[in-house]
Structure 1
Amino acid sequence: MADRISSITDLPLDVIVLVFPYLDVKSFLAFCSTCKGLHQNSISLDPAYWSHATRSTFRVPNQPVVQHDGVRWQKMYRRLLTQSRVYTWGSTTYNRLGHGYDPDAVRVARHAQRRFQHRQSTRCSFPTEMEKTRELGVIADMQCGGWSTTLLTSRGALYTAGVLDGMQGAIQSSSSADGPQPLGFPAGYPASADQAAYDEPTVAIRQFSSGRSHILALSDTGRIWSWYAVHRPALQIKFLNVDLKESPASGQSKSTTSLYGHVKKVVAGWSRSSAYIHGVGIVVWDPVQRDGDEETDATLVLDSAEVPCTGYQRIKGASRPAEEKQKRGQEIGVVTNHIMLEHFVVFATDTGKVFCARFGDQNAVESILELRSLRNSTGAACDVQGSFRSLAIFKNGEVITAHTDYLEACWDARHSNPDQTDIPGLKRIPALQQTNVISVAFGDYHFLALHSNGKITSYGTELQACGALGLGGDGDPEGRARGIRYTGFGHDGRMLPHAYTHGRQVWFEREKKRWITFMTSGGTNPDEAKERMRMFVTEVSVQGEISEWFEQQGRDWDKDPQIRDADEDGLGAYFALSVSAAGWHSGSLVLVNETLADRVTDMCTIRDPDLTDSEPDGDSEASPGILAASLTRLSNMGQAVINLGGNRNQTPAGQAFTNFLDPVNHGASPREGYKYVWADKSFPRLRLSDGREMPGRGDFDEWRYGRPEWKLGERFEQEVTAHW
């Protein structure tokens, strides 16, 4: 007979964890603190518990790549309570970003000609916090649509900035002063979950998806809602040929053991809507609108299409399935995720396979096709993400990207080349391989990757220098320092091949933007740096290396030993939880440690040593220190940059000279009486990878993390940067 159990710690771990789901966070922490045996990391940082607690409390969507990282989920839970912020960048038209103009850009634009001011007013190239979002409470998720940005609060309410369909000219967006607008429900329902007098699970949203011009959402009971305009109430989706079932609350059935007919997820695509329904599979239909009757609260979808072979389920304890279904399950597996592209549906299964299908008339799908080159040889499940014409596959630490041209080629060759041998189009961008990428968000011509360390990297092209990459710059030359090459009549900004080796991080510290502005203005001695800057502007290879040097120097400012004590959980000053992109703009949900961020700001700022003790502290009308010194050297700076032919922000030469006379404008000083720590630094002088030494009189600048070995050349550029 087994010894009598006298303590809960004598129980096996797999028995103890069965208690966890019944404990709220306060009770769970108290439980773990009762003894050393329960305080060990395998219990107190149980990933299943913290993932469930975070997702159920804040409605944060699951992140399969890190679902077993208990430390990450616990830190997210703690910081979401007070530190979630929403940042957006890119094209500002229709107020899709939910904030006013970039303050740095506006300050410069005040002195510029009208054409330049118009360009500035329609873009924001640096991440800027959305206005009036902190009063919404905890933001659980955000997604970008074609002309909009939509937020989900922890209470289950949706708010949108911009318009859902920018192609309808009569629709006008609200101003940023109004803040994001709530998405409402038909008469008879609470206006939104935030405004409900009691918990109403039929309108509390637990998952949503932004398409190009419409939004789909799934309520706690499993009800599907669809919006086609911000100021119009939602329509409930019902199907003629599919019997949907709802749960009593929290999106989980308590009255039955079967999930059949329950909606697991909704996905809005370019011009289609879809839902994954247990036991049915992926169901596709056209977006819906009212026919003039504003009192209509639901619509019956008469023409829906089911994607074949996507409804298989593995049910624990069920009797042995029929031989045909058993074979189907082994060959295809259970759908774990799906995406809606312009003409294709793509889905991944738990057998490590990826399938696609092309839509026909009325969204009909006749057959599916396995993308055999994307199969996970280990048999482990992989993930698929994407939108419009781009997709990414995650497997074994790899991130493989592709354009729909690849899907078209595989589909056209499904009979003549079933093994898809030698079909080009799959890309393995070096910066995305084995770098713990969690998700990839695609716009029309750009995309961003979120890494598990909370950093975001950008790739692709921002049309008309709209700022969708989030790297700052506002055109030449600051954007050049981040690896963007501006070309053509439209001034399109395309990432250089160098940027695909280690990526270019999106920075949230505005001091880094000021630093880049100062350095690309010529640094402390623009005349001495003139020849180096000429190389930087005219030679692509030099620009690539200079941009990588700036990239290394700009990383990890919040990891400095002087301020390490303010980083209690190791997540840094800005930790991105999610990233989203669509059309010409992007956004991110970010945890902000304001104490640490303020320490970074303080670390970058020092008193101007030329000030006398009798001068006021920072608010004097004139400062004979850095301001007086700048007036002398900036005369040369303005002419030096103008002579480079770089056409700095396309301003008239005389006006560019005027702007340079303000040390705050060009990034040398945060305010009168102070200067930045880089105010005495020169534009970098490097030993280039081709053996040349950049001209100049100062010492050579060293690489912070060593000069990379770039994989460059025409073939690399064609394979990695095609379609971007």
Structure 2
Amino acid sequence: MTMLSDLPIEVLLDNLLPWLAIPDLIHLGQTDHFFARLCDDETFWKRKLEEDFNFTDERTARITGWKHLYRGLRNPKTYVWGEHSKGRLGLKKIPTTTLRDVPYPVELQIKSGARIVSLSAAGWAFFALDSTGSVYVWGTLNGTSYALQHDGYSEAAKPAHTPLKLGMQSPTRSISCGRLHATTLDDQHHVWTFLSWGRPFRLVTPAFDATTLDSTPALVESGWNFSSVLTKSGDVYVWWPFAAPLKDIIAARNIAMDAAADSKAYATEDGVIPCSTWELREEPTKLPPLPPLPELPLESAEPARLIKLAALESRLIGLTNHGHVLSIAVESDVAVRSERWEYLPNFSEVDKVQQHPVYVSSQLKPPQNLRISHISAQFQTFVAYSPGSSSVILLGSHETHADSTPLILPALQNNDVISVVLGDYHYGALTSTGKLLTWGEYSRGALGLGDPGMLPPGQPGGYRTEERRRAAVTNGGPFPPGTSEPAEVSFGHGKAQRDKMFCFAVAAAGWHMGALVIDLEVRFLAD
């Protein structure tokens, strides 16, 4: 007699398990050792996270723990901290602190029932994506200007002091923020550019018509003043919405739309910004193909192609499926035509990394093999990194070229880092165990290490001496020194602080930071 366990594992994973309710999956996994291993399959739970919660691994190097994360996403919490001007933290009440900023994580209340699965930070704002594909925003998209109180969200400078939902027709799949704008990709493969929350435009072009791999957007990436798309075939397109000719086209359309009262995008009483969407038919600039690249260990038989992008102020970092890290300047449409991708061997090749002074002059164990799998960037800094217990984290800048040496922080190496985020002058690294480490400048509390006036002297995030701490408490300043060594952030504050908090996503920009956290104590009580 044929038994269920006699079927090929692929058939069970692809055709049986996805149709089972979660309680049935749990019960099946309790029947014997075979089904226990099958129902714990990492790839299955990773796929189920995307299908059920709109959660992807696009911006994380996590390779395990997907089932654990699935269970916790029933009730994720959103925390924010740092500079609070322009409404960028979305908090109804700003806590009273020594330096009048928010130097520790504070829980943000978003619409009841919304499961936030991804955060992205702009210069003065946040975008949050929930499990249904809805987008919530708070702060000010263009913090360099001002809006009148009676203006709607067709104005880029109109602040949202608490989270508001964007009224978009199709579910959003991914978001990438620049300094004054954001680029999103929806479930129809449509690419949207937000210069204001109320009037996003869809870039309509044969390059993104999704009829072939060459024209199907795989991911979007925003620099400070440009947007880019990577297609599934590895082609890269860029456009500059703040520069001519797009700037002039957008300005003319805004003038025409200003005449219609219903396009002002006033928020409704239930907290929704009704987006007046429009289409911009313009051809983006296609970047040149990759140059000849050396063979790397562990590479696949497939030809090298770009699979990830990360954007700096005016430069793109690219990563291939073989682990090559490259860079190209994208300052303007005219300038980019003469640019070429530049290969960065010191960020890609294991023997080059092994010769780094940090490994040569210390007890730090160098990597025995290397494949860079993820990149991130913001403002003037980028990071290339690999996952696992022997993770390698390499930092570069907008001035990095082929012969440049990466910056390596020993505390981050071999630490199972799965995500690195960057503000203007503060940085964060997330580990697979749910710990968030921050370092860099104080940046109005963006490190999130605690109120410096209340921390013991010498503790990360605090003052170096008791004298300086007392002076700050009395006079409200000066700011404490930065933190050169990564230090762990604690979630919750005072009576609300918990030890069993698991951070699974983080975002940073400007002088602020946000994180998504699972309360493990609550999860276990619910099981």
TM-score range with shorter-chain normalisation?
0.7 to 0.9
Equivalent residue in structure 1 for 2:91, among 99, 109, 121:
99
Q: Equivalent residue for 1:9?
A: 5
What residue identity is the alignment partner of 1:336? I
Aligned equivalent of 1:467: 445
Q: Does 1:367 align with 2:309?
A: no
Q: Using the alignment, how far apart are the partners of 1:10 and 1:210 within structure 2?
A: 49
TM-fit CA distance, 1:359: 1.9
For the residue of structure 2 that corresponds to 1:19, the secondary structure is helix
CA shift for structure 1 position 172: 3.7
**Which of residues 194, 209, 212 in structure 2 aligns to 1:244?**
209
The answer to whether 1:580 aligns with 2:507 is: yes
Distance in 1 (alpha carbons) for counterparts of 2:89 and 2:82? 8
SS in structure 2 of the partner of residue 74 of structure 1: helix
CA contact (8 A) 2:502 2:519 kept: yes
Aligned to 1:164: 141
The answer to whether residue 319 in structure 2 is matched with residue 348 in structure 1 is yes
Distance 1:337 1:505, change over 3 A: same
The higher-RCO structure (CA 8 Å, 6+ apart) is: 2
**What residue is the counterpart of 2:181 in the other structure?**
214
Match of 1:406 among 400, 407, 412: 400
What is the rounded CA distance, in whole Å, between the counterparts of 1:392 and 1:28 in structure 2?
42
Paired residue for 1:259, among 189, 195, 213? 213
Residues 8 and 276 of structure 1: CA distance in aligned 2, closer, same or farther (over 3 Å): same
Please give the residue correspondences for 1:424-573 in structure 2 after superposition, counting only pairs within 5 Å.
424=405, 426-463=406-443, 466-475=444-453, 480-485=458-463, 491-497=478-484, 500=485, 503-511=486-494, 558=499, 573=500
Q: What corresponds to 1:291 in structure 2?
A: 254
Partner residue in 2 for 1:591: 518
Letter in 1 for 2:285: A
In the alignment, which residue of structure 2 is the partner of 1:394? 385
* Whole-Å separation in 2 of the counterparts to 1:427 and 1:513: 37
In the TM superposition, residue 490 of structure 1 has moved relative to its aligned partner by 7.8
Name the structure where strand makes up a greater proportion of residues: 2
Name the Cα RMSD after superposition: 3.2
The one-letter amino acid paired with 1:509 is G
Q: What amino acid maps onto 2:73 in structure 1? A: L
| Cα contact 1:309–1:332 (8 A) shared by 2 | no
TM-score (structure 1 length as normaliser): 0.57
**CA 1:271–1:304: 2 relative to 1, 3 Å:** same
Q: What is aligned with 1:46?
A: 41
Residue 383 to residue 479, structure 1, CA distance change in 2 (3 Å): farther
Within 5 Å, give how 1:60-459 maps onto structure 2: 60-62=55-57, 67-69=62-64, 72-81=65-74, 83-105=75-97, 120=100, 123-131=101-109, 133-170=110-147, 171-175=157-161, 179-185=162-168, 190=169, 203-230=170-197, 232-239=198-205, 242-245=207-210, 259-279=213-233, 281-287=235-241, 289=250, 290-294=253-257, 297-302=277-282, 304-309=284-289, 333-362=304-333, 364-365=336-337, 366-377=339-350, 378=369, 380-395=371-386, 397-407=391-401, 410=402, 420=403, 423-424=404-405, 426-459=406-439
Is the CA contact 1:125–1:471 (under 8 Å) kept in the aligned structure 2?
A: yes
Q: Distance in 2 between matches of 1:380 and 1:470?
A: 31
Structure 1 or 2: more helix by fraction: 1
Q: Determine helix, strand or coil for the equivalent of 2:79.
A: strand
- CA distance, structure 2, for counterparts of residue 512 and residue 469 of structure 1: 21
Runs (5+) with no aligned partner, structure 2: 148-156, 258-262, 264-275, 293-299, 351-368
Q: Cα offset for 1:382?
A: 2.3
Identity %: 24
Q: Distance in 2 between matches of 1:479 and 1:165?
A: 37
Determine the C-alpha separation between the residues in 1 that align with 2:372 and 2:392.
Answer: 13
Q: How many residues align?
A: 451
CA drift at 1:493: 3.5
Do the aligned partners of residues 513 and 244 (structure 1) sit closer, same or farther apart at CA in structure 2, a change above 3 Å counting? same
For residues 271 and 261 of structure 1, the distance between their equivalents in structure 2, rounded to whole angstroms, comes to 23
Following superposition, the deviation at residue 9 of structure 1 comes to 1.7
Deviation digits for residues 100-158 of structure 1, max 9, x if unmatched? 444352xxx7xxxxxxxxx51xx211100113x15151111111110001111111111
CA distance in 1, matches of 2:463, 2:496: 18
Per the TM alignment, residue 305 of structure 1 is displaced from its structure 2 partner at its CA by: 1.5
User: Shift of residue 513 of structure 1?
Assistant: 9.9
Q: Evaluate the alpha carbon distance shift between residue 184 and residue 15 of structure 1 in structure 2; reply closer, same or farther with a 3 A threshold.
A: closer
Q: Which amino acid aligns with 2:393?
A: V
Asked if 2 retains the 8 angstrom alpha-carbon contact of 1:337 and 1:383, the reply is yes
Residues in 1 aligned to 2:303 and 2:314: alpha-carbon distance in whole angstroms: 22
Contact 1:125 1:467 in 2 (8 A): yes
1:159 Cα offset (Å): 1.1
Cα distance in structure 1, aligned partners of 2:16 and 2:482: 48
Question: 1:507 deviation in Å?
Answer: 0.6
Secondary structure at 2:143 match in 1: coil
Rounded to whole Å, the distance in 1 between the matches of 2:13 and 2:89 is: 43
Measure the CA separation in 2 of the matches of 1:577 and 1:260. Answer: 32
Assess, with a 3 A threshold, how the Cα gap between structure 1 residues 293 and 373 changes in structure 2: closer, same or farther.
same
What is aligned with 1:252? none
CA positional deviation for 1:33? 4.1
Amino acid in the other structure paired with 1:372 = P
How far 1:485 moved relative to its partner? 4.9
Q: Take 2:435 and 2:455, find their aligned partners in 1: how far apart are those partners?
A: 24
1:468 CA displacement: 0.5
Instruction: Give the distance between the partners of 2:375 and 2:234, measured in 1 at CA.
Output: 20
Superposition deviation, residue 302 in structure 1: 3.1
Change beyond 3 A, Cα 1:385–1:64: closer
1:623 corresponds in structure 2 to none
Spell out, residue by residue over 1:18-72, the C-alpha distance to the aligned partner (whole angstroms, 9 max, x if none): 435742443860683484154232x111111100111221111316765541xx1
Contact 2:76–2:116 (Cα < 8 Å) also in 1? yes
Q: Name the CA distance, whole Å, in 1 between partners of 2:188 and 2:9.
A: 33
Q: 1:304 to 1:493 in 2, by over 3 A?
A: farther
Contact 2:290 2:341 in 1 (8 A): no
Other structure's SS at 1:577 match: strand
How far did 1:10 drift?
Answer: 2.6
- Change over 3 Å in CA distance of 1:460–1:381 after alignment to 2: closer
**Retained in 2: the 8 A contact 1:579–1:586?**
yes
Residues in 2 aligned to 1:586 and 1:460: alpha-carbon distance in whole angstroms: 13
Counterpart residue identity of residue 407, structure 2: K
Contact 1:306 1:364 in 2 (8 A): no
Counterpart in 2 of 1:36? 32
Task: Note the C-alpha offset of 1:344.
Answer: 1.1
* Structure 1 pair 154–234 and aligned structure 2 pair: CA distance change class (3 A): same
Give the CA deviation at 1:78: 1.2
CA offset at residue 343 of structure 1? 1.9
Question: What are the ranges of 5 or more consecutive residues in structure 1 without an aligned counterpart?
Answer: 110-118, 191-202, 247-257, 313-328, 411-419, 515-556, 559-572, 599-724
Give the Cα separation in 1 of the matches to 2:53 and 2:291: 29
Q: 1:146 to 1:449 in 2, by over 3 A?
A: same
Asked if the contact 1:472/1:513 (under 8 Å) is kept, the reply is no
Please say which structure displays the higher CA radius of gyration. Answer: 1
Q: Is the 8 A contact 1:472 1:479 kept in 2?
A: no
